[in-house]
Structure 1
Amino acid sequence: MTTMDDRISEPEAGGTRRRAILEIAARLFAQKGYRGTSMRDIGEAAGVQGGSLYHHIKSKDALFVEVHHAALDEAERRITRAVEQHSQPWARLEAACTSLLEIQLDPASLTMPMMNDFREVPAPVRAALIERRDRFETLFRALVDDLPLPPNMDRSIYRNLLLSQLNSAADWVRPGRLTPQEIAAQIVRVFRHDASTG
């Protein structure tokens, strides 16, 4: 499982105590959601008294955005590493799908709750989350743009349908039946439309 210690470097975190607070906050947000988690909850879990927490963290909104961005940064790194192992466009897409599914389907993942908890947050926070998510999705835009798809296929619709399937995988995948790699291979098989076959 990826921890916040893995995701946030020393300069970004500003020390051991802050990294520990971010790790705890990420777990609480993942378990209880944005609305269900208070700064008091985070302070109590981190063993930090009242006002001392604000020495490390500006606000709950800022904390949620930071944790969300760190989670997406790590997901982006994982997918990029997986894609770089391949040169063929369909293999690159399958590698990206496998990596995203591994994150989505990991019951201990902190990344997906961060990505999916947009409805409860205030509008300015939501705007920041959506902006970062859209940048994350440029990974898949580039992968889809490289595919030899038929010329009459809309790549934007194709990409959004693919991401919808991947991002909702936890809702429809039955645990233990297939591995993330096997599921990714099936999804790519369904989505594969070569230009040569029309």
Structure 2
Amino acid sequence: MAAGRARRASRSLERRRTRGSDAPALCRSQHRVRARPERVLRRRAEMNSRTDLISAATKVFAARGYRAASLRDIAEAAGIQRGSVYHHVTSKEELLLEGMLPALEQTTVEVERVIESVLAEEEPDYEAALRQAITVHMHCLYGNVSLEGVKVYLAENLLATHSDLTSEAKARLRLLTKRHELNFARLYEAGVNAGVFRNELDPLLESYLVLGMCNWVSRWYRPDGRWSLDRVSDSIAATALAGAVA
């Protein structure tokens, strides 16, 4: 009987030892499971910090201008140390581009989609297409992105000489800007060829004029101001069509 109790005690001890040897592996497994979301959270936090930094930089550029704004100004606006800026970006130029490009790229792609869709129709309505392209341009610039980003894009891209930007950055901005201008020019040209717009119109000149009206809105438009975005868009479209329709 004593021998039986000894064997049972030995088996019980062995089971406890076995469970004990498994415990570290189980803890490591649980640790790995916990660590994965922690890494994800860290990456998300870094992405959020970068987004906040770009947003702060865009506001500083809009208020002070690209050349006058310093990394110290941007760091203070973002609530971080100056040296921490380089943890997220490589240069002040990168902050400028990241602040401008979303507005320009979104606007260009959406307007291009509208114009290509209309031009693919059997009987395009060129007047309606111009109204829609202007409305999309206005809502992309002033409705879905920060006004600070729009102001930076217009001030630093259209009005400045880019003397502080690299050749690669200048080329990238010029390419997007020209693509957007030519989209409107294509629409005007198609309307002229169809006899809807006046034959003497210069399509590229008209695209410059209509975009000039749209972009100047950034100087005075306020989302909570006197005129809604749709009202402003309709007025610009009416003015453009009044001078274009045959």
* TM-score normalised by the chain length of structure 1: 0.71
Equivalence map 1:57-136=2 (5 Å) = 57-77=89-109, 79=111, 88-102=125-139, 103-104=141-142, 109-118=147-156, 119=160, 121-125=162-166, 127-128=170-171, 129-136=173-180
Q: Which structure shows the higher helix fraction?
A: 2
Q: Whose Rg is larger?
A: 2
Paired residue type of 1:48: I
* Equivalent position of 1:45 in the other structure: 77
Partner SS, residue 116 of structure 1 = helix
* Equivalent position of 1:6 in the other structure: none
Greater Cα shift, 79-88 or 54-63: 79-88
How many pairs were matched up?
A: 181
* Equivalent position of 1:145 in the other structure: 189
For 2:106 and 2:170, how far apart are their aligned partners in 1?
Answer: 20
| Counterparts in 2 of 1:89 and 1:189: CA distance versus 1, 3 Å | same
Paired residue type of 2:100: H
Structure with bigger RCO (C-alpha 8 Å, 6+ apart): 1
Paired residue type of 2:228: T
* Equivalent position of 1:10 in the other structure: none
Unaligned residue ranges in structure 2 (runs of 5+): 1-45, 119-123
Report the CA distance between 1:170 and its aligned residue: 4.2
Contact 1:75/1:111 (CA < 8 Å) preserved in 2? no
Report the CA distance between 1:64 and its aligned residue: 0.8
* Equivalent position of 2:37 in the other structure: none
Structural RMSD (CA): 3.3
Partner SS, residue 112 of structure 1 = helix
Paired residue type of 1:127: K
> Percent identical across equivalent pairs?
26
Unaligned residue ranges in structure 1 (runs of 5+): 1-13
| Counterparts in 2 of 1:81 and 1:30: CA distance versus 1, 3 Å | farther
Contact 1:115/1:133 (CA < 8 Å) preserved in 2? no
Contact 2:114/2:133 (CA < 8 Å) preserved in 1? yes
Paired residue type of 2:65: G
Partner SS, residue 146 of structure 1 = helix
Partner SS, residue 28 of structure 1 = helix
Report the CA distance between 1:160 and its aligned residue: 1.4
For 1:61 and 1:155, how far apart are their aligned partners in 2?
Answer: 33
Instruction: Give the ranges of 4+ consecutive aligned residues of structure 1 lying more than 4 Å apart after TM superposition.
Output: 77-87, 170-175
Q: Does 1:23 align with 2:59?
A: no
Partner SS, residue 53 of structure 1 = helix
Contact 2:58/2:95 (CA < 8 Å) preserved in 1? no
* TM-score normalised by the chain length of structure 2: 0.59
For 2:236 and 2:155, how far apart are their aligned partners in 1?
Answer: 25
For 2:234 and 2:77, how far apart are their aligned partners in 1?
Answer: 41
